[in-house]
């Protein structure tokens, strides 16, 4: 069970030599979408040099408009795995439905995005798959609902779940979403699962990413997910909230002054 009163010890999620939980701090960085071989390799090399411990990149993208860029699909997964091979960074990418599971065998962490947080068939399917899951909070879901979604995965047999606060919809329009900082201590008090924060999707604006990342660290997060692109102005998805490679490097230097990495 997800509930800490039933299971008091912290769960450690181990991904290819990288541990989430137990005071370790992990930074997942990379573009919203894998766009080309040159792009993902350049980003992977740079974020690794800056200290990121995992690489992200979407191949199947859940877009609001059916006419928007949807990702490179199988080619995107292949390029992400190429970047993994080049750099040694474990990779995180989003799954949209359970028919895609067989494509994810070599992916290190399966991301369930905000829009699929309550896709219960998908939750059960990744629960039966023996692979760490990054479960993002839904656009307008309570913490209790997030924890019940995690419960679907655990109850199907997979306890390797990382929770991710990525902002929720509120009346405020100055930011894309409102980062719920209370979610970090509350989720850690109520559950034994590691909790990370995605300030990029919360803010929607790159100038807010570093301050919100600092806030997440101060509130006790076990890690961060930071959208990072080699040329944000040309990004096919979420460029406005993406740091460029130098900004990511500066963020890591700032974080290293605040926390001890492994």
Judged by beta carbon distances under 5 to 8 A according to partner kind, the member of ligand PEP, Mn ion, none in contact with residue 229 is none
136 binds ligand PEP (CB under 6 A): yes
The interface region with ligand PEP, picked from 3-11, 12-20, 46-54, 110-118 by CB under 6 A, is 110-118
Sole binder of ligand PEP in the list 58, 132, 199, 232 (CB under 6 A) = 58
**3-class DSSP state of 154:** helix
Q: How far is CA 72 from the centre of its chain?
A: 19
Backbone CA torsion sign across 113, 62, 126, 140: positive
Residues between 67 and 106 that touch Mn ion (CB under 5 A): none
Report the C-alpha gap between 162 and 118 in whole angstroms.
Answer: 16
The interface region with ligand PEP, picked from 12-20, 22-30, 108-116, 215-223 by CB under 6 A, is 108-116
Q: How far apart, in Å, do the first and last CA atoms of the chain sit?
A: 28
Sole binder of ligand PEP in the list 84, 166, 188, 192 (CB under 6 A) = 166
Indicate the burial class of 92 (C-beta count within 10 angstroms; 0-12, 13-18, 19 or more): buried
The owner of tokens 């219960």 is 120
Stretch 190-209: interaction string toward ligand PEP, x if CB under 6 A: -----------x--------
132 binds ligand PEP (CB under 6 A): no
114 binds ligand PEP (CB under 6 A): yes
Hey, which bits of the chain come out as E strands? 13-15, 18-20, 26-30, 54-56, 91-94, 109-112, 133-136, 161-165, 195-197, 223-227
- Of the candidates 98, 101, 80, the residue with the CA atom closest to the CA atom of residue 36: 80
Stretch 21-40: interaction string toward ligand PEP, x if CB under 6 A: -----------x--------
Q: How far is the CB of 237 from ligand PEP (least distance, A)?
A: 7
Contact positions toward Mn ion, by CB under 5 A? 32, 238
Contact positions toward ligand PEP, by CB under 6 A? 32, 58, 62, 113-115, 136, 166, 201
């Amino acid at each position: 069970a997800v509930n800490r009163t039933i299971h008091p010890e912290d769960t450690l999620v181990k991904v290819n030599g990288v541990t989430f939980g137990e005071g370790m701090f992990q930074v997942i960085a990379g573009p919203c979408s894998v766009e080309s071989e040159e792009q993902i390799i350049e980003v992977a090399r740079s974020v690794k040099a800056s200290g990121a411990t995992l690489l992200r990149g979407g191949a199947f993208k859940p877009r609001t408009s059916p006419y928007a860029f949807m990702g490179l699909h199988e080619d995107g997964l292949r390029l992400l795995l190429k970047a993994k091979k080049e750099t040694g960074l474990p990779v995180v990418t989003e799954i949209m439905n359970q028919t895609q599971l067989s494509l994810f065998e070599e992916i290190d962490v399966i991301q369930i995005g905000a829009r699929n947080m309550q896709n219960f068939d998908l939750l059960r399917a990744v629960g039966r798959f023996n692979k760490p899951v990054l479960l993002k909070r839904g656009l307008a879901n309570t913490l209790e609902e997030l924890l019940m979604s995690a419960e679907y995965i655990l109850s199907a047999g997979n306890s390797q779940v990382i929770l991710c606060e990525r902002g929720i919809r509120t009346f405020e329009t100055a930011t894309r979403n409102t980062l719920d900082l209370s979610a970090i201590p509350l989720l850690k008090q109520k559950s034994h699962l590691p909790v990370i924060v995605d300030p990029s999707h919360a803010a929607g604006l790159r100038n807010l990413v570093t301050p919100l990342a600092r806030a997440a660290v101060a509130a006790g997060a076990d890690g961060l997910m930071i959208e990072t692109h080699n040329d944000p102005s040309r990004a096919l998805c979420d460029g406005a909230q993406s740091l460029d490679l130098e900004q990511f490097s500066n963020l890591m230097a700032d974080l290293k002054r605040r926390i001890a990495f492994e």
